[in-house]
């Protein structure tokens, strides 16, 4: 005895709708895997449930980008416009720049320098010397500032001690005459 046919319309009961979605989602993902294995087909399946959660399957022999590129060529529909292509190129450029900066940073730390030639080593040494000069200058500036602040604090301390001694002397004079000021 086979299953009865159901009318294909939105299920109004949210609990029943969720159960049906879960079962059918698992079924369609299983079918996508099966057709991929059995027929050597390249399959990409993306599902978004009512909650916004994404479920996907992509054949192991391909990538989503490859599938979408093939779809774009076969259908003639433009999925990627020039703006997206430029953004992709910009991301690639920034990644390369980041990689280059990571290498430069390792060189500045003295790491991975065996591959550098004489000219590159000289340029690295000059950069390090310039950096060291800047660090020393800043260190001296901070030292002078601490020294200046220390001198100011010392002068203020002397002044406060002087005022305290004057106050104590006046109190002592007041005590000797039997009166408080």
Domain count, the chain: 2
Which pLDDT belongs to residue 179? 55
In a domain, 91, yes or no: no
DSSP-derived 3-state class of residue 174: helix
pLDDT digits (tens, 9 = 90+) for 114-123: 999 999 999 9
Tell me the range of 68-72, 83-87, 136-140 where mean pLDDT is highest: 136-140
Quote the DSSP letter at residue 163: H
Instruction: Identify whether the C-beta of residue 11 lies closer than 8 Å to the C-beta of residue 20.
Output: yes
Which pLDDT belongs to residue 181? 47
Report the predicted TM-score, pTM, of the whole model to 2 decimal places.
0.45
Residue 80 pLDDT class (50, 70, 90 cuts): confident
Better-predicted residue by pLDDT, 151 or 178: 151
Which pair of structure tokens corresponds to residue 32?
A: 């996508």
In a domain, 3, yes or no: no
**Average pLDDT value for residue range 155-159:** 94
How does DSSP assign 98-112, residue by residue?
A: HHHHHHHHHHHTT-S
Structural domain harbouring 66: 14-79
In a domain, 95, yes or no: no
Instruction: Identify whether the C-beta of residue 116 lies closer than 8 Å to the C-beta of residue 110.
Output: no
In a domain, 107, yes or no: no
In a domain, 33, yes or no: yes
**Average pLDDT value for residue range 24-42:** 95
Closest to 113 in 3D by CA, of 128, 98, 95: 128
In a domain, 180, yes or no: no
In a domain, 136, yes or no: yes
**Average pLDDT value for residue range 76-85:** 77
Quote the DSSP letter at residue 162: H
Better-predicted residue by pLDDT, 94 or 178: 94
* CA atoms of 47 and 53, how far apart (whole Å): 8
* CA atoms of 175 and 181, how far apart (whole Å): 9
In a domain, 94, yes or no: no
What CATH number did the domain enclosing 69 receive?
A: 3.40.1810.10
How does DSSP assign 34-96, residue by residue?
A: HHHHHH----EEEEE-TT--EEEEE-TTS-HHHHHHHHHHHH---SS-HHHHHHHHHHHHHHH
* CA atoms of 124 and 114, how far apart (whole Å): 13
């Amino acid at each position: 005895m086979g299953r009865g046919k159901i009318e294909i319309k939105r299920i109004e009961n949210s609990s029943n709708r969720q159960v049906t979605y879960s079962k059918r989602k698992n079924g369609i993902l299983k079918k996508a895997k099966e057709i991929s294995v059995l027929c050597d087909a390249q399959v990409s399946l993306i599902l978004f449930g009512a909650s916004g959660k994404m479920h996907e399957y992509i054949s192991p022999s391909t990538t989503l980008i490859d599938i979408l590129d093939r779809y774009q060529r076969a259908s003639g529909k433009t999925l990627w416009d020039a703006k997206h292509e430029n953004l992709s190129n910009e991301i690639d450029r920034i990644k390369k720049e980041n990689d280059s900066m990571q290498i430069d940073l390792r060189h500045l730390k003295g790491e991975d320098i065996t591959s550098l030639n004489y000219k590159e080593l000289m340029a690295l040494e000059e950069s390090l010397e310039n950096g060291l000069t800047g660090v020393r200058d800043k260190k001296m500036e901070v030292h002078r500032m601490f020294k200046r602040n220390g001198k100011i604090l010392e002068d203020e301390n002397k002044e406060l001690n002087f005022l305290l001694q004057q106050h104590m002397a006046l109190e002592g004079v007041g005590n000797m005459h039997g009166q408080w000021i």
